[in-house]
Amino acid sequence: METKKFIRGLHRYLSIFIAIQLLLWTVSGIYFAFNKIELVRGEQYRLASQAEYRIFDRLGQQVIASIKNGDVLYKTYPEGKILEALSPQQAIVIAETKTTLKPIEVIFITEEISGSEYRGRDLPIYKVLTETDDNTSIYINPMSGDISAIRSDSWRMWDLLWALHIMDYDERDNINNFLLRLFSILALISSISGITLFFVKKR
């Protein structure tokens, strides 16, 4: 009987400590869900730049990228000729020279798919499959030759769990979605009511 009483008491006090932490998690989660990170970062105060330039090397060819109002134009430098996109074979060379991975196949992607592992990257884009146990893929910008992303099964599992965590099952990046806001409010009510019940004397 004494053992059962001790376990009940232990469970009760452990529950209140856990409930307090859950309350803190929930309150912070509500703040994140109702505030856009772009506004928190102050992005709304930035003025769009008229033009930006970047000079870089792409497989031995000097390239200048001019960015105007979000549009990028690639030319050879200093000749100023319009630059052609990388070929699939050149994409493989990029993958070999910029990573430790062994490329085996190239896929040219032109369409955006909601929630894709290359979301947020400019299209078109090369997807380079590699010889790994983790099904690692390299995403390469066909104009600049930059590696836009590297994705593996480990990343895909992380992405799935992140989508479940923030309850955004489509885009997988929106922490301001309705479901998350709704359940965060419900979790807040649940946490507060649980803590309140702890201090209510049993009749």
For residue range 148-172, list pLDDT tens digits in order: 999 999 999 999 999 998 889 888 8
Query: pLDDT tens digits for 91-104?
Result: 999 999 999 999 99
Q: Rounded mean pLDDT of 180-194?
A: 87
- Both 169 and 89 in one domain: the answer is yes
Does residue 183 lie in a domain region?
Answer: yes
Evaluate if pTM is beyond 0.85: no
Residue 203 has pLDDT above 60, yes or no: no
Does residue 54 lie in a domain region?
Answer: yes
Predicted pLDDT of residue 88: 97
- Both 98 and 29 in one domain: the answer is no
Does residue 18 lie in a domain region?
Answer: yes
- Both 23 and 89 in one domain: the answer is no
The 3-state secondary structure of the chain, one letter per residue: CHHHHHHHHHHHHHHHHHHHHHHHHHHHHHHHHHCCHHHHCCHHHCCCCCCEEEEEEECCEEEEEEEECCEEEEEECCCCCECCCCCHHHHHHHHHHHCCCCEEEEEEECCCCCCCCCCCCCCCEEEEEECCCCCCEEEECCCCCCEEEEECHHHHHHHHHHHHHHCCCCCCCCCCCHHHHHHHHHHHHHHHHHHHHHHCCCC
Predicted pLDDT of residue 202: 56
- Both 93 and 156 in one domain: the answer is yes
* Total domains, the chain: 3
The residues, ordered by sequence, that sit 6+ positions from 77 with a Cβ below 8 Å of its Cβ are: 55, 62, 63, 64
- Both 164 and 137 in one domain: the answer is yes
Does residue 53 lie in a domain region?
Answer: yes
- Both 116 and 131 in one domain: the answer is yes
Which of 11-15, 23-27, 72-76, 110-114 comes out lowest in average pLDDT?
A: 11-15
- Both 139 and 169 in one domain: the answer is yes
Q: What domain range is 135 assigned to?
A: 85-175
Does residue 40 lie in a domain region?
Answer: no
Does residue 99 lie in a domain region?
Answer: yes
